[in-house]
Amino acid sequence: MPSRRVLLGGAAASVAAAVLPSPGARAQTQPRVVVIGGGFAGASCARALTRLDRDLAVTLIETETAYVACPFSNAVLAGLRGIEAQTFGYDGFDGIALIRKRAVAVDAERRRVRLDDGTDIDYARLVLAPGIELNFEALPGYDAAAAEIMPHAWKAGPQTLLLRDRLTAMPDGGTVVLSAPANPFRCPPGPYERASLIAHYLKRNKPRSKLIILDAKDAFSKQRLFEAAWQKLYPGLIEWVPLSAGGRVTEVDPATQTLATEFGSHKADVANVIPPQRAGAIAQVAGVADRTGWCPIDPVTFESRLQPGIHVVGDAAIGGAMPKSAFSANAQAKACAVAVAALLREREPAQPKLINTCYSLVAPGYGISIAGVYQPRDGLLAEVEGAGGVSPLDAPPEVRELEASYAEDWFRTITGEVFG
Ligand SMILES: Cc1cc2nc3c(=O)[nH]c(=O)nc-3n(C[C@H](O)[C@H](O)[C@H](O)COP(=O)(O)OP(=O)(O)OC[C@H]3O[C@@H](n4cnc5c(N)ncnc54)[C@H](O)[C@@H]3O)c2cc1C
């Protein structure tokens, strides 16, 4: 039986509007759902849609040929893992019309997406899953050129390798400065997992060095667990400077590798600037992002509060207590697919219940986690009281080791499910 997958790139994509989705006659008769972004959210949603209703015509638009996953990318920085283990192709997307192009505009009224080669694609419903973009406007001195000197590594790939190489080249006795943004941002525990694994690398390879975290917050995810682990594993190595002690970075100077705060400035040998973020550019262009830069959604259908017919899932969406994680992105994508399939068949969408678990590695064989359950309440995704929690503070080493192995298992399972 011939594969139902359609791979379009280069010149072939210019005929996409005429022929999509495949196969042939289905395109004329079945409603087309277009998904923009083939990350944890978009790829999960496209797959779920075809599974739920094989008669839907599903098109996935992704600009990259391969996806580099952020979860576990902090282990790459610490030399514990290769970037290949983070990289996934788009070969297993049978039944989905995959277009390797950038979506550059959305005409919400005419229900049409424009690609970077000028092709237009019509949709019955659009799912936007573009992830984040770095909000350079929110941090004076920081832009794409500065990121080549003071890497963010908040989108995995070349930035991850750049930061890893900076750490490798730093002499012993150097100072690493990591700046963490205010909420909301991608992966709330991510900066602190990163600090932990960089500390692990420094302790083993450059023991006279230190790490300063400049934080725009006074509290962070799994804080007590991280701080207890830092005291035990990396005493004196990590200094956390909260907002109230002058942690918020107000400006950076790549020429001198300096990060300025309201209370003074810090010169780094290696600077890792994690800047403020907002929904990916196409969300801003499509008019689904509000003044916060994020996309408010209905918690049952994930339909935009600002543009009918457009749904937003993953990091770009905002609508309550659910953190921006790959786990959440995958859960939201599946709930959104159920709602989109129902709406297209004129059925009432069901109320979803969504789970998130975020594992963090503090060192190899030392894992901690936070879990939560979320459901629609008062127009938002609210946390179900008493349903989640964090790892125990006083757990024995065997439990930390088990959690580290659960983290690996989770990553293998989710990437297998999403990227095949
Ligand atoms: C260091 C770090 C560690 C993390 N660790 C964890 C973890 O342990 N567990 C966890 O659950 N989460 C973790 N996360 C968070 C997780 O990576 C994100 O929450 C997740 O990637 C969000 O998925 P997404 O699909 O919304 O966005 P993305 O993964 O960013 O995917 C968006 C996709 O859309 C594409 N795209 C964007 N715009 C366009 C366009 N206009 N046209 C076509 N394609 C487009 C992009 O190329 C990209 O492939 C971590 C993040 C970081 C930075």
pLDDT digits (tens, 9 = 90+) for 198-213: 999 999 999 999 999 9
Look at residue 6 and tell me whether its pLDDT is greater than 80: no
Give per-residue pLDDT as tens, 33-85. 999 999 999 999 999 999 999 999 999 999 999 999 999 999 999 999 999 99
Whole-prediction pTM value?
0.94
Give per-residue pLDDT as tens, 236-255. 999 999 999 999 999 999 99
Residue 49 lies in a domain: yes
β pairing state of 366-377 and 354-363: antiparallel
Which numbered atom of ligand 1 lies nearest the CA of 156?
53
Q: What is the extent of the structural domain holding 190? A: 146-273
Among 297, 324, 350, give the residue marking a domain's end. Answer: 350
Q: Specify whether 130 is located in the same domain as 24.
A: yes
Q: Which of 21-25, 89-93, 313-317 has the lowest mean pLDDT?
A: 21-25
Q: Which residue has the higher pLDDT, 347 or 1?
A: 347
Residue 327 lies in a domain: yes
Q: Specify whether 152 is located in the same domain as 263.
A: yes
Testing ligand 1's pocket by substitution, the residue of 40, 80, 196, 413 carrying the most ligand atoms inside 8 A of its CB is 40
Eight-state DSSP code of residue 333: H
Residue 72 lies in a domain: no
Band (pLDDT 50/70/90 cuts) for residue 5 is: very low
Among 309, 328, 350, give the residue marking a domain's end. Answer: 350
Helical segments of 40-143, H only: 40-52, 73-77
Identify whether the C-beta of residue 233 lies closer than 8 Å to the C-beta of residue 202: no
Among 36, 30, 250, CA closest to 128 = 36
Q: Which residue has the higher pLDDT, 231 or 94?
A: 231
Look at residue 189 and tell me whether its pLDDT is greater than 60: yes
Q: Which residue do the tokens 């594993």 mark?
A: 233
The pLDDT score that the predictor gives to residue 319 is 86
Testing ligand 1's pocket by substitution, the residue of 315, 357, 418 carrying the most ligand atoms inside 8 A of its CB is 315
Band (pLDDT 50/70/90 cuts) for residue 29 is: low
The pLDDT score that the predictor gives to residue 400 is 98
Q: Specify whether 158 is located in the same domain as 230.
A: yes
Among 269, 257, 293, 282, CA closest to 184 = 293
CA of 155 to the centre of ligand 1 (A): 7
**Omega cis (within 30) before 21:** yes
Q: Average pLDDT, stretch 261-274?
A: 97
Q: Specify whether 260 is located in the same domain as 178.
A: yes
Look at residue 7 and tell me whether its pLDDT is greater than 90: no
Which numbered atom of ligand 1 lies nearest the CA of 333?
25
Residue 346 lies in a domain: yes
Give per-residue pLDDT as tens, 342-355. 999 999 999 999 99
What CATH number is given to the structural domain containing 334? Answer: 3.50.50.60
Which numbered atom of ligand 1 lies nearest the CA of 155?
53
CA of 149 to the centre of ligand 1 (A): 22
| Single-letter residue type at 367 | G
Q: Average pLDDT, stretch 164-180?
A: 98
The pLDDT score that the predictor gives to residue 21 is 41
Among 206, 185, 210, 181, CA closest to 195 = 210
Look at residue 1 and tell me whether its pLDDT is greater than 60: no
Look at residue 158 and tell me whether its pLDDT is greater than 60: yes
When divided into structural domains, the chain yields a total of 2
Which numbered atom of ligand 1 lies nearest the CA of 102?
42
CA of 191 to the centre of ligand 1 (A): 15
Q: Specify whether 214 is located in the same domain as 230.
A: yes
Q: Specify whether 150 is located in the same domain as 265.
A: yes
Residue 166 lies in a domain: yes
Residue 405 lies in a domain: no
Rounded distance between C-alpha atoms, residue 13 and residue 347, angstroms: 33
Rounded distance between C-alpha atoms, residue 71 and residue 48, angstroms: 22
Q: Whose C-alpha lies nearest to ligand 1, atom 41?
A: 103
Strands, E, within 254-353: which ranges?
258-261, 264-267, 270-273, 277-279, 295-296, 310-312, 317-318
Look at residue 11 and tell me whether its pLDDT is greater than 60: no
Residue 156 lies in a domain: yes
The pLDDT score that the predictor gives to residue 12 is 34
Q: Which residue has the higher pLDDT, 185 or 26?
A: 185
Rounded distance between C-alpha atoms, residue 374 and residue 363, angstroms: 29
User: 3-class SS at 283?
Assistant: helix
Among 8, 12, 14, CA closest to 62 = 8
Q: Average pLDDT, stretch 396-404?
A: 98
DSSP-assigned beta bridge partners for residue 355: 373
Q: Write out residues with Cβ below 6 Å of ligand 1.
A: 36-42, 61-64, 67, 70-71, 73-74, 102-103, 129-131, 154, 186-187, 190, 194, 280, 282, 314-315, 324-327, 329, 358-359
Per the prediction, the chain carries an average pLDDT of 93
Which numbered atom of ligand 1 lies nearest the CA of 194?
1
Residue 271 has phi, psi (to 5 degrees) of -110, 130
CA of 100 to the centre of ligand 1 (A): 17
Which numbered atom of ligand 1 lies nearest the CA of 328?
11
Rounded distance between C-alpha atoms, residue 90 and residue 418, angstroms: 10
The pLDDT score that the predictor gives to residue 28 is 52
Testing ligand 1's pocket by substitution, the residue of 186, 282, 284 carrying the most ligand atoms inside 8 A of its CB is 186
Among 242, 273, 304, give the residue marking a domain's end. Answer: 273
The pLDDT score that the predictor gives to residue 30 is 84
Residue 141 lies in a domain: no
Look at residue 420 and tell me whether its pLDDT is greater than 50: yes
> Given 3-state DSSP classes, what are the helix, strand and coil percentages for the chain, each rounded to the nearest 5?
35, 25, 40
